[in-house]
Copies of this chain bind each other. A is one copy, B any other.
Amino acid sequence: MAEKIKGRTEIAELGEFGLIDTLTAPFKSSRRSTIKGVGDDAAVIEGSRDTALLFSTDMMVEGIDFDLTYFPPKHLGYKAVTKGISDIAAMNATPEQITLSLAISSKISVEWLRDFYSGVEFACREAEVDLVGGDTSASVTGLIINISAIGRAKKSNVVYRSGAKLNDLICITGNLGAAYMGLQLLEREKRVLAGIDSLQPQFEGYEYLLERYLKPRARYDVVEALAREKITPTAMIDLSDGLASDVMQICKSSACGARIYLERIPIAKQTSALAEEMHIDPVVAALNGGEDYQLLFTVPLEARERIAAVGCIDIIGHITAPETGAYLVTPDGSDIKLKAQGFKE
């Protein structure tokens, strides 16, 4: 292990969240058009009199966020768009435009890029989002992808992480942990097949998990469905870091506590089946796996029936007073304090 250099602090000592907070603290806003800057899924910017613009950015790094040995280029293009526009949906807004920057290493061919862009194009068409700009650079090493997104919403419909109120219901779309188990499956097959060209990877029965990891869809459809039922959530975030971390983000921003009921967390059959096979607790996959790209949001108690009318939304808990903290309640009634990574009694 390298000796610590005097006056040198490793980034790991602060962690990503602490680091960004520290580094952006000295920045002051000088534009009246900035309604909300750093600190939510997307920034909020003055549009016209009654519309706001949402603005966000996301970077994906080869070897950290994806592995090209098993990520098909078309899926990677699709997923990059999902990651970019999911932040806009998480503000209860409609994504409209994206830009795409790429740093491309010499191992990437034109044919590979064509497939990648066909995935980008597919995702854009599906979400009715326009690719309006980009930048490409060479890379001396791996592939880097950056997507920035712009969206639009009525000002009164923009939802922040900070609006959750006591007794609000905590809702999620879809099911959790599937993308994480999809990744585990791909990593397992990569290890099994290392150096053995003649074998085929074993994915039968787990296709849903692969799709959730390789080709997740952003839940802009939920934004539309909530609008149809005239529901404006009080707080919202997209599930990118795992349920535990994202619930805690809402608690921190809204200055509140939360109780999540373990048995109400929706987990798909394939997720449970593979988790059992691989000796992983499926609840841990749901709590800490991340990359679900579902929406986590809170609504007032009186919206319960309208939430049921939307369909595909589960109420998994409720907001509590700030001093109570964020807890997972198990079926036997014991409370487990939520932690951003892993959880302990």
Give the B-binding residues of A (Cβ under 8 A): 5, 7-11, 13-14, 16, 19-20, 22-24, 26-31, 33-34, 36-38, 42-43, 45, 47-49, 53, 55-65, 96-97, 99-104, 106, 108-111, 113-114, 117-118, 121, 124-125, 128-142, 144, 146, 148, 150, 152
Contacts and interface: CB of A to CB of B under 8 A. Distances in A.
Contacts of A24: 117, 131, 134
B9 A110 contact: yes
A61 B133 contact: no
A30 B133 contact: no
Copies in the complex: 2
Q: Which one of A14, A103, A118 has the greatest number of beta carbons of chain B within 10 Å?
A: A103
A242 B205 CA distance: 56
Given A9-B109, A27-B130, 6 more contacts: A30-B129, A34-B96, A34-B132, A47-B48, A59-B136, A62-B140
Contact of A19 (B49, B113, B146): B113
Given A142-B140, A150-B45, A11 B131 contact: no
Contacts of A97: 31, 33-34, 43, 45, 55
A150 B257 CA distance: 36
Contacts of A110: 8-11, 13-14, 19
Sort A-B residue pairs by CB-CB distance and give the 5 closest, nearest first.
Answer: A43-B132, A48-B48, A148-B148, A141-B141, A9-B110
A37 B130 contact: yes
A29 B64 contact: no
Nearest to A150: B55
B57 A133 contact: yes
A133 B102 contact: no
A128 B108 CA distance: 39
